[in-house]
Chains A and B, each alone.
Chain A
């Protein structure tokens, strides 16, 4: 699915990530931890082609990302659902349209029933017609998750998806991610929330990666 071979990323003269070699296998569930500013978001952006490695290779679905043109990157992103930390939406369109956006831009049909089910699944059934600016932080996170999964992507990347959620809603969101993983989706979640990771490990087989000193390592057994 997604593979890094001795990849590095530098910005402004400094190296943020270096010597990264790993492979996200189909159907795997990974957590990515590390202190703030350690490069978790940068790593995720490398995973969906928003950033290009400054050294080494990043391969998305067996294609070297540096060799992809802009349209090819766009088409690749249709296979990757992304939940951003800041959850950006088209603020002038209702939640339902925003959630359906990935289907609409790819010209695929958007069955009303499926969309309604998905919104109910993330607890936003009553807010389909609301505009994003009126949503709370937690509601935005759930809308972003719904948007990320609506196309049935092969990979789901989430950057601090529970950052604005209470524990109950975090568990609910985790349950959604676990369900998606059981459906065969590859999941990578960047988070600070160790409780969330422990909860996930009790439900599904996960691997925890930690960014430390610009490198990514497998976390120890303390988690």
Chain B
């Protein structure tokens, strides 16, 4: 008899079983699982875009390819020229070790530098006003014929733009996943309401208001969606965790993942999924109830 007075009684007004309830859990779980990956993709793209944008930030490289006996002379000429070029804040010649480090990802750590005719690289940083790129190229051609200006923009800007697009795509995917989840839970809730016509009839008979009935269904579906989303979020985070580490392979896709407190972000998807389920079920419940006597 005490069961009648349980404070959880309201949670049990809607029958616990049925395909719509199971479908809600499954949908929320699957969608949250996918959302974790979309979130990881978005964050990875964000990190990439930031890294590339930082690298682009007012830097350029001058590559000097000259016979060995002229290399030092031309390097000195380039550095001197840069010191007198308006718009250039600083410049420096990269050391052989730094050059080697740049080549290491492609050729490995055992690169015999002395056997290769490597160019001398000069890194420059421009001021906020910037420099005249065309003017600098002409002066370089005159002072150091082996020097070529590479202002990075040509190849890094599209990459940064691509990373930005990936970030937007990731966020768009999360929004679409949320909308798809809302649509499916709405269908499931509508099916549940239709399947429980007798429950609604009895509740109406004993004086339950629409908001009470809607709350009973909303509570049930929100809890179901929350549980499904929790499983999906944990599974998704585990999947991301098990991806190869960025450092070991170096590619973009292997850089998918969360860092530090970012690992808590998948957990934020759980209340978000529950919120989507709450809104979808409430809408479906009131719409259905309005059609009943």
Give the B-binding residues of A (Cβ under 8 A).
50-51, 70-71, 74-75, 77-78, 82, 84, 88-94, 96-97, 99-102, 104-106, 110, 112, 115-116, 128-129, 147, 151
Contact = CB atoms under 8 A, between A and B. Distances in A.
Contacts of A89: 202
Contacts of B211: 71
Contact of A71 (B9, B206, B209): B209
Contacts of B4: 94, 96-97, 99-100, 104, 110, 112, 115, 128
The range of chain B's interface size is: 20 to 34
A193 to B, nearest CB: 23
B13 interface: yes
Contacts of A70: 209-210, 289-290
A74 B5 contact: no
Contacts of A50: 205, 293
B204 interface: yes
A105 B212 CA distance: 7
B5 A100 contact: yes
Contacts of B208: 74, 105
Nearest to A93: B12
A34 B214 CA distance: 38
A77 B5 contact: no
Nearest to A99: B4
B1 A74 contact: no
A78 B207 contact: yes
A78 B206 CA distance: 6
B275 interface: no
Contacts of A71: 209-211
21 contacts: A50-B293, A77-B204, A77-B205, A77-B206, A88-B205, A90-B15, A92-B15, A93-B13, A94-B3, A96-B3, A97-B12, A99-B4, A101-B203, A102-B207, A105-B203, A106-B207, A110-B5, A128-B4, A129-B1, A129-B3, A147-B206
